Chain A
Amino acid sequence: MILTSLELTPAAFEAGTGWAITPRGACNGERCVPLPDPGADRLDVAELASRIGMPLVHDAGHGLWALGPAAPEGRALLSAQAPELTLPDVEGRPFSLSSLRGRKVALVAWAPY
């Protein structure tokens, strides 16, 4: 997730990272990390990143930060529950993977480079 500020609303943090701020703390599926003030309406991203275990990389020259993924198990997947994926189709319309619940899906990544 690219950031121009280290303060975010809980909704923006969830949209960018998949981690929801709940009364139980920061949660991704069943996995929750307790927070000192889970009701705060502005989040300190640096502190949150360190609690969850997300790398935060700063590019001072451009005033940007990038927040990388948490990998507590040392694996790309936190669980077998598929994360939500919303991407534009070739005509630019957003398509969400979750719209295919009820069907089996073969999700195939290719690249024209």
Chain B
Amino acid sequence: MWQALRAELHPQGLEVVTVAMVAAPEHPSLVDAAHVMGELFGVVNIPSGIWIDERGVIVRPAEPAWAAGRWRTEMTAGIEEAPERLQRIIARALAEEIDPEGYVAALRDWVAKGDASAWALSPEEVVRRSTPRSPDGARAAAHFELAQHLHRAGDATAAVAHFREAHRLQPENWTYKRQAWSLNGPEGPLRRFWQGPLEGQDWPYDDEYAAAIEATPPGAYYPPVRR
């Protein structure tokens, strides 16, 4: 989806860098196994976009980022045949205010006008609008890093304790939750959205995706992108 937009705007000086996508043939596509995007840029949900100007100055901090109008069709293709749990999750996510056309128009405007674009924020506003990070939120990042480290080292049980602590300290961080949940979920194509216990499965977390997203107030899962 980002490929077409990149092809359009690259001649005007834009590069698109996707992080953690499965594959992307032309633009830089990076793999963030340790989730440093969370610690460095305040990414707490995906998809998130950050705009950076020619001098390396952030002009829009992490916010929901949408590439094309096609995505809604893609997300809902075959949905009526999906398990009821997945239908609930996707329906709740799609109930958010999502405006891919508006987002892409804003990106085009910034590429054309730079700092003169109404979408380019001042440095002070960028910091002010970046994700809140309380002392507990900073501590959650340390627990999440330990959890990821221990999981990769093969100690899944020890990892769970730190994932749980990260979730407790920063409950609004979806990437902390979805990463942990997906490690315990079913293999295969459903894994990305399932993120909860299978029938009869022991589940080491207090929460799971369907219940958690349905309990989220409107606008808190994908906050609307504002000028």
Contacts and interface: CB of A to CB of B under 8 A. Distances in A.
A109 B131 contact: no
A103 B37 contact: no
Interface residues of B, number: 80
Contacts, number: 213
A68 interface: yes
B141 A69 contact: yes
Range, interface on chain A: 35 or more
A73 B125 CA distance: 13
Given A68-B138, A71-B133, A109-B32, A76 B146 contact: no
A69 B133 contact: yes
A15 interface: no
A109 B31 contact: no
Interface of A: 1-2, 18, 54-57, 59, 61-62, 64, 66-71, 73-83, 85, 87-90, 95, 97-98, 100-113
B54 A111 contact: no
Contacts of A81: 56-58
Interface string B26-62: 0011111000110111110011111111111111011
A97 B162 CA distance: 30
Given A1-B145, A68-B145, A109-B43, 7 more contacts: A77-B58, A77-B127, A82-B57, A88-B31, A107-B49, A109-B32, A110-B19
A104 B51 contact: yes
10 contacts: A76-B131, A78-B127, A82-B50, A85-B37, A97-B56, A104-B110, A105-B52, A107-B51, A108-B17, A109-B19
Contacts of B126: 77, 80
Contacts of A76: 41-42, 61-62, 130-133
Given A82-B56, A88-B30, A108-B2, A77 B48 contact: no
A61 B157 CA distance: 12
B178 interface: yes
